Structure 1
Amino acid sequence: MKNIEYQRLLDLKEKIDNKEASPKDLKDYMLIMYENGHITEKQYKDFISNKNTDDLIKAAITIGGVLLAAWLIQKLFE
């Protein structure tokens, strides 16, 4: 994933965590996760079709949090 995508993911995660995310923000977050192979096509399609949306978002946020933590640690050592 490119640095700009990590930054966008971080911005979107903060909005989601603060309950300020719009439906478009949620869709963008899930799309970034899908395009980078962090959620499956089925999970992304289920999200788009509103199946298990809350559970999918929670799982994606957890995965995204781990990715962002690793990215930030990497930035500290650059």
Structure 2
Amino acid sequence: MMVKNLVAELIRPGHKPDQTAKIIADVLGCTEKTARNKLNEISAFTVPEALKINEQIFKNEFEIRYLFDTRVSDKLA
């Protein structure tokens, strides 16, 4: 599994899929391995982390539920 909506919104503006962990790691101040584990649902994002990602990367453009849902949303179609 993966946090697909979050990854999709990160690559939508032109980032490559392999850059997503670095983007998340930079925002959260963690290693890229930790970020990859969170993106791949090996470990979970905390609520403060989710809020920080939405604020700093997306300027609160999205609902947290949408970004961190593990199912693919109709919005991506």
TM-score, normalising length: structure 1: 0.31
The structure with the larger Rg is 1
TM-score, normalising length: structure 2: 0.31
Q: As a proportion of its length, which structure holds more helix?
A: 1
Bigger relative CO (Cα 8 Å, ≥ 6 apart): 2
